[in-house]
């Protein structure tokens, strides 16, 4: 059974359709990624799934239960790590965790034990008595993650968990998320970080303007939309037409983007050899999720 099942979910804010008839199923134990530019509707979708925001239309089922009918029981199974820092600035680091544990009716001693364990897990054990304003940005993020684990959640919902983190902290977080997946914790991960999605997620949905444009494993998405390897050709001003003509005559799938032409779904190495005589500056490279992302959502700014 799907852990989270979303059916034709829609959210309107006045004139704006933030989420537009999205249907998704997230399976037990998987890490499911939501990838999309700003304003794609990822956060709104997550807010609806966590009952912080009410859908305009559509249904959300968690382990077969209707979220509208059993919000408390369902929320008790969730661990939520928000995009923005909403820690209790007036409380200490430890109090932030024990206070949160109390919302889940975790008894005092147990709450303290779990809080210390969560602080250890994210290397914050030396900060338990500190005030929130004494923490660095990275420490706050880690504390938000620790807080999200306080109820031993069955489903972890993460909205940009590594935004603004230095590479070391990011690596630590990825490592912990992998460990949690190993323990069977289902994860829903919103991110703009392509590496993060590629490294952590079993399946990724690419969202744009409130809709899901594509849904597959990261590898599957790359193969389907750009091919495993692509060829990039640097375009000089006077070369554009001739390159376009040549590629067209070969019937290739290519895109002209900001001074570089990318050729998709091709045997990039062989094509590079064949084109060698034309004295173009070109190079084959492995395709990434980012290429898929740009193909599907475009290169223009979305706001």
Interface with another protein (CB under 8 A): 50-54, 71-73, 75-76, 78, 80, 82, 84, 86-91, 95, 99-100, 102-105, 151
Beta-bridge partners for 263: 231, 254
Q: Where are the beta strands (DSSP E) in 63-144?
A: 65-66, 78-81
State in angstroms the smallest separation of the CB of 25 from another protein: 21
Q: Nearer Cβ to another protein, position 97 or 292?
A: 97
State in angstroms the smallest separation of the CB of 267 from another protein: 48
State in angstroms the smallest separation of the CB of 244 from another protein: 50
State in angstroms the smallest separation of the CB of 237 from another protein: 50
Sheet containing strand 282-286, edge to edge, reads 253-257, 260-264, 229-234, 282-286
Q: Nearer Cβ to another protein, position 103 or 283?
A: 103
Name the burial class of residue 241, with classes exposed (0-12), middle (13-18) and buried (19+) by CB atoms within 10 angstroms of its CB. Answer: exposed
State in angstroms the smallest separation of the CB of 189 from another protein: 16
State in angstroms the smallest separation of the CB of 26 from another protein: 17
State in angstroms the smallest separation of the CB of 45 from another protein: 14
Tokens of 16: 């704006």
Task: Return d(Cα 154, Cα 152) in angstroms, integer.
Answer: 7
State in angstroms the smallest separation of the CB of 62 from another protein: 13
**Nearest C-alpha neighbor of 219 from the set 200, 203, 230, 196:** 203
Q: Nearer Cβ to another protein, position 160 or 232?
A: 160
Residue 284, H or E segment: strand 282-286
**Residue listed under structure tokens 């998320």:** 177
Tokens of 289: 């999720």
Question: In Å, how far are 94, 118, 187 from 133, measured between CA atoms?
Answer: 14, 19, 29
Q: What is the DSSP string of 171-216?
A: HHHHHHHHHHHHTT-EEEEEES-HHHHHHH-SEEEEEETTEEEEEE
Task: Return d(Cα 220, Cα 25) in angstroms, integer.
Answer: 17
Task: Return d(Cα 3, Cα 61) in angstroms, integer.
Answer: 8
Residue 260, H or E segment: strand 260-264
Q: What's 291's DSSP letter? A: H
């Amino acid at each position: 059974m799907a852990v989270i099942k979303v059916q034709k979910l829609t959210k309107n804010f006045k004139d704006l359709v933030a989420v537009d008839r999205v249907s998704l199923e997230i399976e037990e134990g998987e890490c499911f990624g939501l990838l999309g530019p700003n304003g794609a509707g990822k956060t709104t979708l997550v807010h609806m799934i966590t009952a912080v925001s009410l859908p305009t239309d559509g249904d959300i089922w968690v382990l077969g239960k209707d979220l509208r009918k059993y919000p408390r029981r369902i929320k008790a199974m969730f661990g939520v790590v928000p995009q923005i820092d909403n820690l209790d600035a007036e409380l200490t680091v430890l109090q932030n965790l024990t206070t949160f544990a109390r919302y889940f009716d975790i008894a005092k001693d147990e709450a303290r034990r779990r809080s210390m364990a969560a602080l250890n897990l994210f290397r914050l054990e030396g900060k338990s008595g500190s005030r929130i304003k004494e923490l660095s940005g990275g420490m706050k993020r880690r504390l938000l993650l620790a807080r999200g684990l306080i109820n031993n959640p069955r489903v972890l919902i993460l909205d940009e968990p590594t935004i603004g983190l230095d590479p070391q902290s990011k690596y630590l977080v990825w490592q912990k998320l992998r460990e949690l997946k190993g323990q069977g914790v289902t994860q829903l991960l919103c991110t703009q970080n392509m590496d993060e999605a590629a490294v952590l997620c079993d399946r990724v949905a690419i969202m744009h303007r409130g809709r899901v444009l594509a849904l597959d494993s990261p590898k599957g998405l790359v193969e389907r939309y750009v091919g495993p390897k692509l060829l990039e050709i640097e375009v000089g001003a006077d070369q554009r037409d001739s390159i376009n003509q040549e590629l067209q005559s070969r019937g290739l799938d290519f895109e002209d983007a900001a001074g570089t032409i990318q050729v998709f779904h091709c045997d990039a190495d062989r094509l590079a050899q064949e084109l060698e005589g034309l004295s173009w500056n070109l190079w084959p490279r492995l395709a990434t999720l980012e290429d898929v992302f740009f193909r599907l959502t475009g290169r223009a700014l979305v706001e």
